[in-house]
Amino acid sequence: MEQYSVRFLPDNLTVQVPAETSILSAAGKAGIVIKSGCGGKGSCGACQVVLMSGEVKVEGTGKLSHEQIEAGVHLACKTKVMGDLSVEVPPESRLQEHQVLTGSIKGLLSEKEVNLLQKYGLKPLARKIQFSLAEPTLTENTADWAKLYLELKKHLGEGKIDVPLSVVRDLPEVLRAGKWQVTVTVADLPERSEVIKVEPGQSTTPAYGLAIDIGTTTVVVYLVNLESGEIIDKQGTYNKQARYGDDVISRIVFSVDAPGNLEEIQGAVVNTVNELVDSICRKHKVQREDIAGAVAAGNTTMTQLFLGVSPKYVRLEPYIPTFSYVPPVTAGELGLHMNPRGPVIMFPSVASYVGGDIVSGVLVTDMANADELVLFIDIGTNGEIVLGNRDWLVSCACSAGPCFEGGGITFGMRAMPGAIERVDIDPHTYDVELKVVGGRKPVGICGSGLVDCLAKLREAGIIDRAGNFQKDIESHRIRQTEEDKEFVLAWAHQAEGEKDIVISENDVKNLIRAKGAIYAGIRSLLRMVSLEVEMIDKIVIAGGFGNYLNVPDAVQIGLLPDLPSERYEFIGNSSVKGAHLALLSRQARVEAVELGKKMTYLELSVGNDFMDEFVSALFLPHTDLSLFPSVDS
Amino acid sequence: MAVTLVKERWQSRVGEVILGATPEQGGTRSHTITVGGDGTLPFLHFEGTVANRPVVALEVNDVEPDWSPRLKEYYADVINNPAAWAKKCVDEYGADLIYLKLVGANPEGANRTPAECAQTVKDVLAAVSVPLIVVGCEEAEKDNEVMAAVAEAAAGENLLIGLAEQENYKSITAAAMVHKHSVIARSPLDINICKQLNILINEMGLPLNKIIIDPMIGGLGFGLEYAYSIMERARLGSLVNDKMLAMPMVCTPGYEANRAKEANAGIEDFPAWGDLHDRGTMWEALTATSLIQTGASILLMRNPEAVKLVKQNIEELMVSNA
């Protein structure tokens, strides 16, 4: 097939692609990540590019206006390369780099730091052992590996020790170069040890490990010193898979859509991790070779995609994942930027929609050893909920939709600089006071801001309990547009952009559905075990969103159960914290596998309970007001 | 061996609502009608209090309705005079109340002004002495104006006015509060929305004993059993002390039953179905009697012969089985 060159501006990057490749894919090849919320269906209109020159085939223009089309604006996903092109990618079409929340930001309750190792003790996934061997002679003529093996036995005790051929190949020269002083990196795997690396002499650098959280939206990596347990650095960024769609379903659809797509989407997430690793390694002058192991946690789909296993059946009824537990794989097989022989351990999943990230979170909460009843909620695109104590654990997943991450909301955005995170509305004047991430001019509103906003709109009487805008309020902030009613949060001149930032009645209804889904999930789990809300002793909230969450407001709108705030606890990104723990402790690794098996999964789509609960939760705070005694009527 | 009847002990009861107002109470009705108040499932006299009998309201329209000729026959002489129509319903057909529909307000139809509608209500009030139920033309914007005018013109009469719905409840609730009427809260066969609407109305300041639930129904053969179970849930809710569900219910068997093909197709088209006259009457009567079995307190009906059957059935059911 004919190859054409596509030049992207202002980057001035040129790639060669076959005819009929979409501009979106070409951009991907050039390493330019264009927003594509709908996954290339031409419906979201996010992937606008300007065609400067060249021949294309237009297969759709979506929501583009006449003026835009005349100005040369094209949808990158629906425009195919038919000749050499020059294309400008405007900044608003690019997935911006941003600092994903990796530290703790003070919420109403600050994130709880848990001393993870207190209970488990340090037994890292890999470590370096140094010793000297006797130099061979004509009479002491044991083979190199046999000699090393005997010495390793002394350090590692009973148990099998494996060595890959590539290490054996290095062995003779390494031993001699170090004058029989040697540093051996050994991985601690289930029921065996494996030699990862041999170095001459006494290595002064420790073994490092990676703790990875593969989120649908964001990926976070910790580089950890496996000798001390200390975190060298944390970094996070958007999951590059975002260009194939915002949610797991559109990613699954893409991955099975055409041959080669699975490899492409796997490559995207591996690249995301690799870029973070490279960036940390550069900053701290760490050699890739010294990263001897990794533990990763993600939802079931993310886990399968990371390993290049097709998630096709995760999406199809009866929703069967390919595996829940998978034995360690090597970094080389995945193409991770670390020692290719180093093991990569994936957290086990419970079911198609309760994944390793949740098992990891449960490990961190230690609820599997608790006497009291603990409710763990991870609020992301899916709300995953686990309830239980030392005797039992039940879990479920409810699709809350992407609202709390800013999706499906007129001015919704992720929690990044420019996002409104706190809203106050004066109930008399309807004046608005905003707090914006990074103290900048507002660009949009993120999940925590939306929770606040909903609570404050209700408090001010601008919406009723059903989420309807009230017509009898006189304020220039409340307006009727052609298709909707809206409330102005920030006027254009106060904002970063040319438009007023508003929240519409439709946004409000979306939020009510999202919060209703989470609360209905909680109630369904409780119902399954015949317990009442008041019986929950502790509620642990996780997720990037959780760091900002205002608990009283979340209760006010009926997102979270009406329980005293001292029962609430924030643990932030529990997925990466669990991965960190498992990296450092053998016992934690063993427990994680057990946890995966121990959790009972409740499929909410079976039976009517969830639907019933959901519909009654579509009210502020709830149709059954007795569930929210502290909320003023 | 004697069978012991299992008796449920309920914590609460359905709320009572009084319709109409006598001159002493600021109105002009000869008597008031109280509905609701039951402390058990319908007609289980042996288990709890069956406080008030279900009542029947006959429907009167302010313009000639597009009903079947079979139904219009009963009202042929009065069909263009709502006051006379109402009087006939009470005097001849034994209606406990009058259910006046101001269809003529519809902007797509006769487009009567709020003042004209209010006058119609006054005329009907003057013609009969029973309490009145008044609803608009089901065009939200217009109804808000019309019902405000009606509420004002009939201030103190304690009408039962409608319809308050989740998307449009404020103006009618406000009108009821100011001029001392009760409100029909209509929800689309959904127990949650039903309850939410009651909360919304109550939070505006209208007391719970001024609200009647219209749960919406399907006629016989057209979802009656679904409506039945929704209403049963509401009744069970009120018995276990769910105050926001504990209102009496009003149902529309006259409208729903007569929409069915079975109530309109002639014997020539369906010989096996039998005579249309009796079939049509039975269709409405059976829809109505099923509804009282699941807790309906007010039946809005059209067919006088069906009313006769239903009233007889109510009479029998009100005989104590304790």
Per-residue pLDDT band at A92 (split at 50, 70, 90): confident
The mean predicted confidence, pLDDT, of chain A is: 88
- Whether A134 and A38 map to the same domain: the answer is no
- Predicted local distance difference test score (pLDDT) of residue A217: 82
Q: Does the structure show a pLDDT above 50 at A433? A: yes
Residue A628 lies in a domain: no
Per-residue pLDDT band at A3 (split at 50, 70, 90): confident
Is residue A345 classed as helix, strand or coil in its secondary structure? strand
- Whether A219 and A339 map to the same domain: the answer is yes
A466, A471, A633 member nearest B196 (Cβ): A466
The CATH homologous superfamily for domain B17-317 is: Dihydropteroate synthase-like (3.20.20.20)
- Whether A533 and A600 map to the same domain: the answer is yes
- Quote the distance between the C-alpha of residue A486 and its chain's center: 31
- Higher per-residue confidence, A287 vs A31: A287
Mutate which of B192, B201, B202, B242 to test chain A, going by most A C-beta atoms within 10 A? B192
Mutate which of B190, B199, B229 to test chain A, going by most A C-beta atoms within 10 A? B199
Residue A322 lies in a domain: yes
- Flag if B199 and A625 touch (Cβ within 8 Å): yes
* pLDDT digit string, tens, across residues B268-305: 999 999 999 999 999 999 999 999 999 999 999 999 99
- Whether A157 and A237 map to the same domain: the answer is no
Per-residue pLDDT band at A632 (split at 50, 70, 90): low
Nearest residue on chain A to B171, judged by CA atoms? A472
Cα angle, residue A291 at apex, residues A289 and A292 outer, rounded to 5°: 100
Q: Which residue has the tokens 């409330």?
A: A487
Asked if residues B71 and B302 have their Cβ atoms less than 8 Å apart, the reply is yes
Per-residue pLDDT band at A122 (split at 50, 70, 90): confident
- Predicted local distance difference test score (pLDDT) of residue B40: 96
Across A162-182, average pLDDT:
95
Listing from the earlier edge strand, what are the strands of the sheet with A85-88?
A13-18, A3-9, A85-88, A48-53, A73-75
Q: Does the structure show a pLDDT above 90 at B161? A: yes
- Quote the distance between the C-alpha of residue A123 and its chain's center: 27
Is residue A231 classed as helix, strand or coil in its secondary structure? strand
* pLDDT digit string, tens, across residues A369-392: 999 999 999 987 788 999 999 999
For chain B, give every domain's residue range.
17-317
Q: Which residues of A touch B195 (CB under 8 A)?
A: 616, 623-624
- Flag if B199 and A618 touch (Cβ within 8 Å): no
Least confident of A40-44, A551-555, B186-190, B278-282: A40-44
- Whether A331 and A379 map to the same domain: the answer is no
What whole-number percentage of chain B has pLDDT above 90? 97
Hey, what are A438's tokens?
């990074």
In a 13 Å sphere around the CA of A366, the CA atoms on its Cβ side amount to 14
Asked if residues A251 and A286 have their Cβ atoms less than 8 Å apart, the reply is no
Residue A54 lies in a domain: yes
ipTM of the complex: 0.79
Hey, what are B174's tokens?
């406000």
Nearest residue on chain B to A615, judged by CA atoms? B192
Least confident of A25-39, A233-247, A459-473, B133-147: A25-39
Residue A504 lies in a domain: yes
Shortest Cα–Cα distance, B172 to chain A (Å) = 13
- Whether A32 and A7 map to the same domain: the answer is yes
Burial of A164 (0-12, 13-18, 19+ CB in 10 A): middle
* pLDDT digit string, tens, across residues B262-275: 999 999 999 999 99
Residue A351 lies in a domain: no
Residue A102 lies in a domain: no
Q: Does the structure show a pLDDT above 90 at A536? A: yes
- Higher per-residue confidence, A341 vs A317: A341
A272 phi, psi to nearest 5 deg: -60, -50
- Predicted local distance difference test score (pLDDT) of residue A107: 36
- Whether A73 and A33 map to the same domain: the answer is yes
Name every residue whose Cβ is closer than 8 Å to that of residue A568 and which is 6 or more positions away in sequence: A109, A538, A539, A541, A551, A560
Shortest Cα–Cα distance, B276 to chain A (Å) = 40
Which residues form the domain of A161?
125-200
- Higher per-residue confidence, A143 vs A403: A143
- Predicted local distance difference test score (pLDDT) of residue A25: 82
CATH at residue A152: 3.10.20.880
* pLDDT digit string, tens, across residues A568-609: 887 878 899 999 999 999 999 999 999 999 999 998 888 888
Q: Which residues of B touch A468 (CB under 8 A)?
A: 166-167
- Flag if A465 and B170 touch (Cβ within 8 Å): no
Q: Which residues of B touch A470 (CB under 8 A)?
A: 170
CATH at residue A290: 3.30.420.480
What whole-number percentage of chain A has pLDDT above 70? 94
**Which of A491, A511, A531 finishes a domain?**
A511
CATH at residue A59: 3.10.20.30
Nearest residue on chain A to B168, judged by CA atoms? A468
- Flag if B192 and A625 touch (Cβ within 8 Å): no
3-state secondary structure B219-250: CCCCCHHHHHHHHHHHHHHHHCCCHHHCCCEE
- Flag if A464 and B190 touch (Cβ within 8 Å): no
Residue A103 lies in a domain: no
- Whether A486 and A530 map to the same domain: the answer is no
- Predicted local distance difference test score (pLDDT) of residue A95: 65
Shortest Cα–Cα distance, B173 to chain A (Å) = 14
Residue A30 lies in a domain: yes
Is residue A48 classed as helix, strand or coil in its secondary structure? strand
A278 phi, psi to nearest 5 deg: -60, -45
Asked if residues B40 and B47 have their Cβ atoms less than 8 Å apart, the reply is yes
- Whether A137 and A83 map to the same domain: the answer is no
A472, A618, A623 member nearest B170 (Cβ): A472
* pLDDT digit string, tens, across residues A445-456: 988 889 989 999
Chain B within 8 Å of A320 (Cβ-Cβ)? no
Q: Which residue has the tokens 């998630």?
A: A311
| Residues in chain B whose Cβ is within 8 Å of chain A | 166-167, 170, 190, 192, 195-196, 199-200, 203, 244
DSSP A404-436: GGTTTSTTB--SSTTEEEEEEE-TTT--EEEEE
- Whether A557 and A614 map to the same domain: the answer is yes
Cβ-Cβ contacts under 8 Å between A and B: the total is: 29
Of residues A483, A565, A522, the one with CA closest to residue A110: A565
Q: What is the distance between the alpha carbons of residues A524 and A545, in angstroms, rounded to a whole number?
A: 23
- Whether A236 and A248 map to the same domain: the answer is yes
**Domain tally, chain A:** 5
A470, A472, A623 member nearest B196 (Cβ): A623
Per-residue pLDDT band at A110 (split at 50, 70, 90): very low
Chain B within 8 Å of A623 (Cβ-Cβ)? yes
Across A613-624, average pLDDT:
93
Cβ count near A598 (within 10 Å): 15
Per-residue pLDDT band at A10 (split at 50, 70, 90): confident
In the stretch 462-521 of chain A, residues with CB closer than 8 A to chain B read 464-466, 468, 470-472
- Flag if B170 and A470 touch (Cβ within 8 Å): yes
- Higher per-residue confidence, A496 vs A411: A411
Q: Does the structure show a pLDDT above 90 at A311? A: yes
Q: What is the distance between the alpha carbons of residues A580 and A296, in angstroms, rounded to a whole number?
A: 9
